[in-house]
Amino acid sequence: MARTYHDMFRPAYELPACATWAASSAALSILHPPMWPALAVGMLAASAVRGKQAVELYRFRASISSLRVERLCCIIQRSS
């Protein structure tokens, strides 16, 4: 059985990649080369995939953040 390994503490390269794919799609819509609609749709799909990966990475990092724990502790102390 194959195991996958995801390093969630590496630099987040997905966000710049997402922005680059989106900008490339916008450039195609301005320049109108041959078959640009198909290429633009493909680039928007790649941008969406990279955006989803970036959201998952930042959601994981936020879930282990100590700031969230501090907020929960403050809420518990206030209600006591």
Contacts of 50 (CB under 8 A, 6+ apart): 14, 15, 17, 18, 21
What is the per-residue pLDDT across 14-50, written as a single tens digit (0 to 9) for each? 999 999 999 999 999 899 999 999 999 999 999 999 9
Structural domain containing residue 32: 14-79
Is residue 60, in this structure, part of any structural domain at all? yes
| Mean pLDDT score across all residues of the chain | 84
Q: How many CB atoms lie within 10 A of CB 57?
A: 19
* Number of domain units in the chain: 1
Cβ contacts of 43-49, under 8 Å, gap ≥ 24:
46/21, 47/18, 47/19, 47/21, 47/22
Average pLDDT over residues 45-63: 92
Among 2-6, 20-24, 42-46, 57-61, the minimum mean pLDDT is found in 2-6
Is residue 47, in this structure, part of any structural domain at all? yes
Is residue 9, in this structure, part of any structural domain at all? no
